[in-house]
Amino acid sequence: MRKRSWNLRFLATVLLTVLAIKGHAQTPDLQQHLQDHYQNKIFVLRGLYSDEFLHYDAAGVPMGAPTPGDWTVDGFVLLSDLQIRGQRVEIEAKRLLVVSRNDSFQFYADSQKKRKKADSVRIEVELGAANATDAIDAPFSSIFLTNRDTLGTLVPDYWEPCVSGGLRNDQKYPLCQSNLLPQKCRMSISIM
């Protein structure tokens, strides 16, 4: 009986060691995935929350009661640093203020100097037990807009025709044309 008990303990120890090694081996892959797909890219924050700290569960659902803000002040975030710490992703981001300049929408923080002064937001996302990249991509698609979403549905009703028309480059809305999404920024604003 003692031998069998010893064998079970040995087997359990080996199994836990293998699982721990496998978990640590995935961390560099996950960190690389974060850097490749999210770091130094601009996203639209679903919910347009104005808080300085946002915490999400593994499904991308906000924890607590974040405060909704304005799309021009709180909607766009540049993810500048993403780190995996234990079972969560910690994100440092800068808010990109949207202004109307030269008859179009633009980011106020359009230079490195201005971005350094932009308001910061810290975002924490709990990681689930799913496949490595799915544990990140699934909640991120609930936190940020994806290519299945439109910014026009998030803005107040009076902004919707202008924002939607501007994003489509609709000539009926010449003052709503956006330098945020056409051409240059469609590549840098990530819509997953």
The helix (H) or strand (E) run that includes residue 93 is strand 88-95
Confidence of residue 177 (pLDDT cuts 50, 70, 90): low
What pLDDT score was predicted for residue 92? 96
Token pair in block for residue 143: 């936190």
Using the predicted structure, report yes or no on whether residue 130 has a pLDDT greater than 90: no
Nearest to 78 by CA among 104, 47, 117, 105: 117
137 Cβ contact list (under 8 Å, min separation 6): 37, 192
Calpha distance 191→65 (Å, rounded) = 25
What pLDDT score was predicted for residue 2? 53
Confidence of residue 55 (pLDDT cuts 50, 70, 90): very high
Share of the chain above pLDDT 70, in %: 65
What pLDDT score was predicted for residue 157? 82
Is 0.75 surpassed by the pTM of this model? no
Nearest to 91 by CA among 62, 61, 117, 56: 56
Who has greater pLDDT, 22 or 31? 31
Average pLDDT of the chain to the nearest whole number? 75
Chain-centre distance of CA 49, in angstroms?
12
Residue 137 has φ and ψ, to the nearest 5°, of -65, -40
For the chain, what are the domain ranges?
A: 2-145
Calpha distance 15→145 (Å, rounded) = 40
Using the predicted structure, report yes or no on whether residue 185 has a pLDDT greater than 90: no
Mean pLDDT, residues 113-118:
68
What pLDDT score was predicted for residue 152? 80
Which residues sit opposite 44 in a β-bridge?
Answer: 76
Q: Does residue 114 contact residue 105 with C-beta atoms inside 8 Å? A: no
pLDDT in tens, 148-161: 888 888 888 877 87
- Across 25-39, 117-131, 176-190, least confident range: 176-190
